[in-house]
Amino acid sequence: MLDVNSLSCSLPGHGTVLDDVTFTAATGTITAVVGRSHSGADTLLAALAGVLPPGARSRGSAVLNGARIDGATPDELAEVVLWVSDAALPGGTVADILRSRLGDLSAADELGLQDDLSRRLSSLPIDMRLRLHCATLMAQDISAPPALILVDRVLGTADVTTRDHFCSLLGGLARAGATVVWAEHDLDAVWEHAHRLMELVDGKLVSAVLPQEWQPSSLPEPTLLTMARALDLPPKGCRTPLMTRETLEEYHIVLPLLPTRTHDGSAPTGTGRVIDASAVGLSGRGIEIRPRETVGIIALDGRPEALTRALVAQLPGGGVVPSQLPPSLVLGAAARTWEIQHDLAAGSVMRRVPRLHPRTLVAALSPDELATFRLALADGVETALWLPHPQAWLDPRERHTLAEDLRRRPAGTRLITSRDVEFLVRACHRLVVVQDDRVVGDGSPGAVADLLPTTPLVSRAVGSTRYLRLTDVLESTRTGVTV
């Protein structure tokens, strides 16, 4: 059991970021910590892991199974605390990391890393990092798990299969006796897997309840919680897609065969530029890209990056906002170079991120600060841009806003790549699905729903791929739900 009493932390240049936080996390349970960016969740976990930055000051206490751990160093905590974070991954290649975690490379194929063993961590696509965190959990002795497991926002942009694997491993360690404290931006994941949920707002703990009792103060609701309330179902019976489907049957609720969708006036119409298939390494029909359209690119039998890079190169003025920026890059200089390249007003990029100083190095940014800087680069660019994983490290409200912005006529054409199917169906006007070097699907998310690599959450919850987004259910409840 973890007892935290009146824990406060201040950081150099930021002042108080954690203010008098008190809670108890029971043995054998998962306690999720949620909040907006800069809410203090990452600082809370860093304090418990003994990895606060130099100059940080803290007061209060943290007691783990009767022993105080506040103020201890990572080496002193190594025997009882497991710190799961991108910051905790060692350097080197993927093979080096797997050997350090598991002793050998025998699990590489199971983790989907067999073809990436020689990659250095810095060049590994960000959606694949969770596979390394799975290795960290796989390495733990289930008969004697760590007393405390701290998980800091690792789900990111990973595919559903890897997310489910990680959550299953984490749940197994909790059932074996570990106390888990999990800071996470993926509200649908914590809704399904957490036993208790804590919300932080501006460093203060405003809620510590069972998930089904949560009333968000600063965040949108998890998808299935909103669905439960819209359909007047008990939230406790809608914690997973399977439970939701069973609860719908129990309450004899039948949604219309086809969802009611309001007309999407933001979807581009008319003709665009047709890119010949051979020009981007494909065979068969070409791909049409319309002005100010958001298009998701999905490769069923590989990764979509090479195709998307070729597509954006065919579009006038096309560019890319990288998912990872060089650590030595100075923000102000990078922003000014970008403004010149894309005909933006001088200083416009940094004005969109007033919290960041122009002389700051990328290496000094937190993940959420890097995310907002990447979006500031893309904002206002009228030429075509490729945005790999644009939702990475954004908090739930920021993700929702980004998806809305991408659908409401962006400044220019946007090509999106992500393993996160949920984000793609919410953000994109159109999805292009490729397999065996041919386009096998091209249309609205609803038109290609049966070709998606994983079934969206709402589809699994209602048992039909005709329903993809929460808004499909909400619109239909107003017109045709049968009870």
pLDDT in tens, 189-215: 999 999 999 999 999 999 999 999 999
- The per-residue pLDDT for 201 is 98
pLDDT for 481 equals: 59
- Give domain status of residue 482, yes or no: no
The amino acid present at 187, given as its one-letter code, is L
CA distance 241 to 340: 48
CA-to-CA distance for 483 and 233, rounded, in angstroms? 12
The pLDDT assigned to 266 comes to 62
Query: In this predicted model, what pLDDT tens digit does every residue of 259-313 receive, in sequence order?
Result: 876 555 566 766 789 999 999 999 999 999 999 999 999 999 999 999 999 999 9
Decide if pLDDT at 9 tops 60: yes
Predicted pLDDT at 258: 77
pLDDT level of residue 163 (50, 70, 90 thresholds): very high
Looking at every residue in the chain, the average pLDDT score rounds to 94
Considering the domain boundaries, does residue 343 fall inside one? yes
Q: Answer yes or no: is 146 within a domain.
A: yes
CA gap 427, 400 in Å, rounded: 9
- Rounded distance, CA 236 to CA 195, Å? 11
Exposed/middle/buried for 142, CB within 10 Å: 0-12, 13-18, 19+?
A: middle
Number of domains in the chain: 2
pLDDT tens per residue, range 342-398? 999 999 999 999 999 999 999 999 889 999 999 999 999 999 999 999 999 999 999
Do 69 and 142 fall within a single domain? yes
* Cα dihedral across residues 75, 76, 80, 84: positive or negative: negative
Q: Tell whether 187 and 301 lie within a shared domain.
A: no
- Residue 229 located in a structural domain: no
- Bridging pattern class, strands 57-64 and 67-68: antiparallel
pLDDT band for position 475 (50/70/90)? Answer: confident
User: Cα dist. 70→7, 60, 124, 389, 472 in Å?
Assistant: 9, 8, 34, 36, 47
> What is the pLDDT averaged over residues 424-449?
96
Closest CA to 234 of 244, 223, 220: 244
Which percentage of the chain shows pLDDT scores above 70?
97
Q: Residue range 329-338: average pLDDT?
A: 96
User: Is the confidence at residue 483, as pLDDT, over 70?
Assistant: no
Residue 444: the pLDDT is 95
Residues 6+ apart with CB under 8 A from 281: 306, 307, 310, 437
pLDDT at 217 over 80: yes
Q: The tokens of 22 are what?
A: 């008190």
Instruction: Say how many Å lie between the first and final Cα of the chain, rounded.
Output: 44
Q: What is the pLDDT of residue 261?
A: 64
Dihedral (C-alpha) 371, 374, 380, 384: value to the nearest 10 degrees?
-120
Output the pLDDT for position 280: 97
Structure tokens given for 397: 């409200």
Residues 293 and 434 in one domain: yes
- Please check whether residues 205 and 286 belong to one and the same domain: no
35 & 174 share domain: yes
- How does pLDDT run across 17-64, given as a tens digit for each residue? 999 999 999 999 999 999 999 999 999 999 999 999 999 999 999 999
Residue 471 region by backbone torsions, left for phi larger than 0, else alpha for psi between -120 and 50, else beta: alpha
Query: Helix crossing, 396-407 with 367-378: angle to 10°?
Result: 10
Secondary structure (DSSP) of 93-115: BHHHHHHHHHSSSTTTTTTT-GG
- Do both 283 and 345 map to the same domain? yes
Give the C-alpha separation, 274 to 323, whole Å.
27
Let me know if residue 472 belongs to a domain: no
Are residues 320 and 442 part of one domain? yes
369 Cβ contact list (under 8 Å, min separation 6)? 353, 355, 356
Q: Within this chain, do residues 322 and 384 fall inside the same structural domain, yes or no?
A: yes
Domain range for 348 is 273-457
Output the pLDDT for position 237. 97
- 110 in any annotated domain: yes
**57-114 confidence digits (pLDDT tens):** 999 999 999 999 998 999 999 999 999 999 999 989 999 999 999 999 999 999 999 9
Q: Which runs of E-coded beta strand occur in 193-349?
A: 196-201, 204-209, 273-275, 287-289, 294-299, 319-320
The CA distance from 50 to 195, in Å, is 25
Measured CA to CA, the distance from residue 43 to residue 16 in angstroms comes to: 10
The answer to whether the beta carbons of residues 244 and 224 sit under 8 Å apart is yes
- The CATH number of whichever domain residue 363 belongs to comes to 3.40.50.300
Q: Is residue 53 part of a domain?
A: yes
Q: Where are the beta strands (DSSP E) in 338-483?
A: 385-388, 414-417, 430-435, 438-443
